[in-house]
Structure 1
């Protein structure tokens, strides 16, 4: 065993690969639907470094992994983040209040257990798993004591919040409360036979239903024994009695359209592929990525209609204001020869649709790192910075919302973003665990360890239980609440577990990105202050 440890100590890349492979395999094991997921990499790294303190990964491994992870999360969440920000103010206030309360409980519980001074800063940072808060405390207080408190409380900070996130993911909004975090209803398709006269044109009808529907096919002149003429509906067409129109949209809205215009038709227009065909086309043309569907003017240029966009595992209605990203699969309806032209225009290349876009990726990473270096002075002589995680996350959110700036494309294909997020997270977890195991073992072996552990556990549980108890106030439930927990804890392992138990529900990342910046700032500001008590 010693020879194997010597080998790993001399070859950090081998150690990294071993931690990622074995840890991921262990994380995939489940017991009664509970599994550690990627967090198993962290615990394996802790165990190995506790066994032999030479089994540490270089700092650059964790730094690059954290930067990659934070930036990819930001880019993915950017398109939805700023709209969520308008309705997520209460969630942010709840998170900030709980973190302030956690600081007060750290001081109170520390006093009860006979703890005081700089070690409490580490307890607070570890219980809430925030390395920048630890760094700020060590620098400001000129003491190594925060590291001791951090190493003891960090493990329960991760494990406790993992359990809480699993519970949060299963919460549901009460019947009398609107769940603003609910996912959009699944798209449905229905054919309606029009029973009314004097209807407005299709553009006005789409406006009536707030553009939550798309009209994809139109049959006119249909009579028993005499099939009508099938064509693409144009926005200026006014439906007539007896017309059959295919409507695509969320279920409740489609049902409203059918009820308002006539009745459900048994004629399956989608089955007739002689005049109109349909196909999913992968967007790989960089010149188009980052532009809206309306800007492409597919009906005017090619006489086709886009009905849905598949991003990852989700179908999204193809409205004119929807911004396309590389890797999206656009479903179009139209004549066969026209669809072939659209495929050439969009690119339709699997290779191009999975390009990592190196110019935009590394330019965005560099800008994010520079933003993270900016120090903002605070009253009392303290300074705060977003650091190597907060800076890339913030820049990722902004450029993810912009999609492109002139010739620079910022967006990443969904599959690429998911891959970079997972890889970066695993690298960071392996590094963090490999550098904390020895200190954790030493602290737990002393009489100070149990007191530190108890104080940290109280803080972690306060925040975790507080987030679940105040979910009605924050209006965050289910996957969103699990993401908020991960963001409040600023912990990639919790985020990974939340994504795992919710089957990568996009609301997890949205909740994480919503509260992460404020959580980071509050912790970095409060941790050094706590060390003065």
Structure 2
């Protein structure tokens, strides 16, 4: 029965118990996957140790997949919300830094310990490393150890309970987020029109530049009762019926160019097919629809791209991603060739190539260790910042040469969940190893100071959001986790929603908060 005391065995016991505890729901409140950390905290108190490598592997996998997942929407979010998210990050760090300064100046707390309290309250290992490097003292690690447990547990509980305290409905927030996202990607519709504009009579489709002029696509035409797929040399005649696909705005322009809306339906013959195809061929990933020249090669019309539940107009700016679902209208005889171009293989989609993942993480390590000097100060992103930054950039890029950086939804979810579990087990066990000793040696006073540094900035930015920013609660929770540089808090928020709203906000604000934290640590060290 020696296996009962084996740490590897206990690791999975913690995970199993954590998931069981996480499913307990009391008046709508549950811990979810973050319960794994609370179970690990108890086991850690009784002597369980988890190798730091487990925490590092978990952290790297979790942050890298967050970056890959959030990358495509990160830059648009930064452009749209970067300023107000930067205000949140600045507010959190300035308030935390000010409280730390007051502890030193008014209450006589040792400056090194106080700075450690600040970095522990923000659960920032890079900040602690910067403090120890500048001061040459390990006293900061004492404050870090005391403040860290509440910095993790307190922020998690705050994030989990905040929606209930503010009486926010998560489903309503998800719908709101989806509506806001839909504004950037309006609904794709199809409509039939009767050609009555004499200016387009006897004109070839390719000469009309329909896509450039209206933003819509003409997929079918009926001339003298005969339906056909639109080809580049198809001639439009007055009295014809056409079927166009596009956004509401684009279809309104079609009406202005060709003629009024018609109830006439254009039903295709058996030699024509409309198929939904999965993009699984890596050769087309990263390319736009015009680059594939499908219209001229096969007279095929791609009417829409469905990505993450959103329909996207396949214009010249949209690059295909692995797992996209496209709607193709073409002759039945050409469909096998078109399928070969895009792949349409569930098996290929489920196969995960780990080489790009490994390369991406290696690049993250390298970027994280690059130090930039600014006079007497130096700055580096650290492991967490480097891996997240590279994940964001590669997620945005999609493909470089033979390497496809993006992952299928299933692969992303699996790696993210695995990394998250390993990270939470390690954080909980290692915090549990020292929590009682920290209280015994340094008393409750330092713990309360650390809790104050954690709580006050969060309470204040909740007030700022309620009075001024009025963010979607899911985006706010992600921003809160990022502003506190708290990956465990993001882990606690992650199971609350099926959307990536918290991830995008977290990924947007985290790098800003991390830079500000290290600057404030350096300023406090100079006091």
- The normalised TM-score by structure 2 is 0.84
Structure 2 residue 479 is the aligned partner of structure 1 residue 462:
no
1:395–1:303 CA distance, 2 compared to 1 (3 A): same
- Report the alpha carbon displacement of residue 59 of structure 1 after superposing the two structures with TM: 0.8
| CA distance in 1: counterparts of 2:195 and 2:20, whole angstroms | 59
Residue 529 of structure 1 and its aligned partner are, at CA, apart by: 4.2
Q: Which moved more, 1:390-399 or 1:234-243?
A: 234-243
Corresponding residue number in structure 2 for 1:93: 86
Given that 2:222 and 2:242 are in contact with CA atoms closer than 8 Å, whether structure 1 keeps it comes out as: yes
**Given that residues 325 and 411 in structure 1 are in contact (C-alpha distance below 8 angstroms), is that contact kept between their aligned partners in structure 2?**
yes
Cross-structure match for 1:133: 127
Aligned to 1:65: 58
What do the CA deviations read for 1:125-173 (whole angstroms, capped 9, x no partner)? 2322223223333444422323333334322133223434775886979
Which residue matches 1:488?
483
CA displacement 1:276-325 (0-9 Å, x = unmatched): 32222222222222222221122222222222333344433333322122
SS of 2:287's partner is: coil
User: What is the DSSP-based 3-state SS (H/G/I as helix, E as strand, rest coil) of the residue aligned with 1:486?
Assistant: helix
Q: When the two structures are aligned, how many residues end up with a matched partner?
A: 510
Q: In the alignment, which residue of structure 2 is the partner of 1:159?
A: 157
Name whichever of 430-439 and 18-27 sits farther off: 18-27
Mean CA deviation greater in 30-39 or 280-289: 30-39
2:102 paired residue among 92, 102, 108: 108
Q: Please say if 1:218 is aligned against 2:221.
A: yes
Q: In structure 2, how many angstroms separate the alpha carbons of the residues matched to 1:241 and 1:317?
A: 27
User: Deviation at 1:180?
Assistant: 7.0
Three-state SS of the structure 1 residue aligned to 2:306 is strand
User: Secondary structure of the equivalent of 1:412?
Assistant: coil
Output aligned runs, 1:431-510, within 5 Å: 431-444=426-439, 448-449=443-444, 451-453=446-448, 455-463=450-458, 465-466=460-461, 469-470=464-465, 476-503=471-498, 505-510=499-504
Other-structure match for 2:192: 192
CA distance in structure 2 between the aligned counterparts of 1:253 and 1:348, rounded to whole angstroms: 31
* Residue pair 2:86, 2:509 contacting (<8 A) in 1 also: no
**Of the candidates 389, 414, 417, which is equivalent to residue 419 of structure 1?**
414
* Residue 150 (structure 1) aligned with residue 147 (structure 2): yes
Partners of 1:472 and 1:317 in 2: CA distance: 37
Aligned to 1:243: 241
Q: Which residue of 2 aligns with 1:374?
A: 370
More helix by share: 2
Distance apart, 1:94 and its partner CA: 0.5
Q: How big is the shift at 1:234?
A: 4.8
Query: C-alpha distance in 1, partners of 2:265/2:413?
Result: 37
Is 2:355 the counterpart of 1:359? yes
Residue aligned with 1:512, SS? helix
Change over 3 Å in CA distance of 1:119–1:158 after alignment to 2: farther
- Between 1:278-287 and 1:469-478, the stretch displaced more is 469-478
For 2:199 and 2:494, locate their aligned partners in 1 and report how far apart those are by CA, in whole Å: 46
What is the Cα deviation at residue 394 of structure 1? 1.2
Residue 393 of structure 2 corresponds to 398
Structure 2 equivalent of residue 513 of structure 1: 507
**Change over 3 Å in CA distance of 1:125–1:262 after alignment to 2:** farther
Deviations 1:177-236 (A, max 9, x none): xx9767645634332323641466686554455x3x444333344xxxxx5414236598
* Helix, strand or coil at the partner of 1:290: coil
CA 146–240 in structure 1, closer or farther in 2 if over 3 Å, else same: farther
The SS at the match of 2:102 is helix
Q: Which runs of 5+ in 1 are unaligned?
A: 222-226
- Report the Cα distance in structure 2 between the residues aligned to 1:326 and 1:161, rounded to whole angstroms: 33
* Whole-angstrom distance in 1 between the partners of 2:343 and 2:241: 35
Q: Distance in 2 between matches of 1:187 and 1:235?
A: 29
2:410 aligned with 1:407, yes or no? no
Which residue is equivalent to 1:224?
none
C-alpha distance in 1 between matches for 2:68 and 2:316: 22
Question: What is the distance in 2 between the residues matched to 1:287 and 1:362?
Answer: 21
SS at match of 2:315: coil
Render the CA deviation track for 1:379-402: whole Å, top value 9, x for unaligned: 44x432211111111112222222
Tell me if structure 1 keeps the 8 A contact 2:303–2:328. Answer: yes
The answer as to whether partners of 1:354 and 1:413 remain within 8 angstroms in 2 is yes
After TM superposition, list the pairs within 5 Å mapping 1:160-175 onto structure 2.
Answer: 160-164=158-162
Report the more deviating stretch, 457-466 or 93-102.
457-466
Gap runs ≥5 in structure 2: none
Q: 5 Å matches for 1:20-59?
A: 20-50=15-45, 52=46, 54-59=47-52
Q: 1:364 to 1:447 in 2, by over 3 A?
A: closer
Native 8 Å contact 2:120 2:450 kept in 1: no
* Mean Cα deviation higher: 451-460 or 95-104: 451-460
Give CA deviations for 1:15-50 in whole Å, capped at 9, x if unaligned.
332333332333244344433222222222112212
